[in-house]
Amino acid sequence: MDWFLPGAFGLFFVVFIVSTIALVIVTLVDVVRMPSDASFKTGSQIVWVLVILLGGVIGAIVYLVVGRPPGGATAARQRPAIVAPPPPPPSGTV
């Protein structure tokens, strides 16, 4: 049974590293796909890219908790732009 623990630990280590890299990549892609800086709850695109790159997993988690809008980049692109209502018709017409 002594051979099983290093194998399980090695597998756990590989899964942990792969999931860490995947989380950082997914959050970076989400930040880059944002249509504008106004889409973020706080900060701007360059700030979040730096936070994720310099903070790694911690930066990615901070982005997901603090900066990501509900629904992420996909929902931010699908929101309709705020358009001013049309002007009222002239008062002299029937």
Between 9 and 61, where is the model more confident? 61
How much is the pTM? Answer: 0.67
Between 1 and 34, where is the model more confident? 34
pLDDT score of 15 more than 80 = yes
Look at phi and psi of residue 41 and say left if phi exceeds 0, alpha if psi is from -120 to 50, else beta: alpha
Q: Please return the burial class of 55, using the count of CB atoms within 10 Å of its CB with bins 0-12, 13-18 and 19+.
A: middle
**Structure confidence by residue, pLDDT tens digits, 35-87:** 777 777 778 889 999 999 999 999 999 998 988 877 776 666 665 656 677 78
pLDDT score of 3 more than 60 = no
Question: What pLDDT, on a 0 to 100 scale, did the predictor assign at position 62?
Answer: 93
In a 13 Å sphere around the CA of 27, the CA atoms on its Cβ side amount to 27
Question: What pLDDT, on a 0 to 100 scale, did the predictor assign at position 85?
Answer: 76
For the CA atoms of 37, 40, 41, 44, what is the dihedral angle to 10 degrees?
A: -50
Q: Is residue 93 very low, low, confident or very high in pLDDT (cuts 50, 70, 90)?
A: low
Question: What pLDDT, on a 0 to 100 scale, did the predictor assign at position 19?
Answer: 95
Q: What's the CA gap between 81 and 84, in Å, rounded?
A: 10
In a 13 Å sphere around the CA of 24, the CA atoms on its Cβ side amount to 16
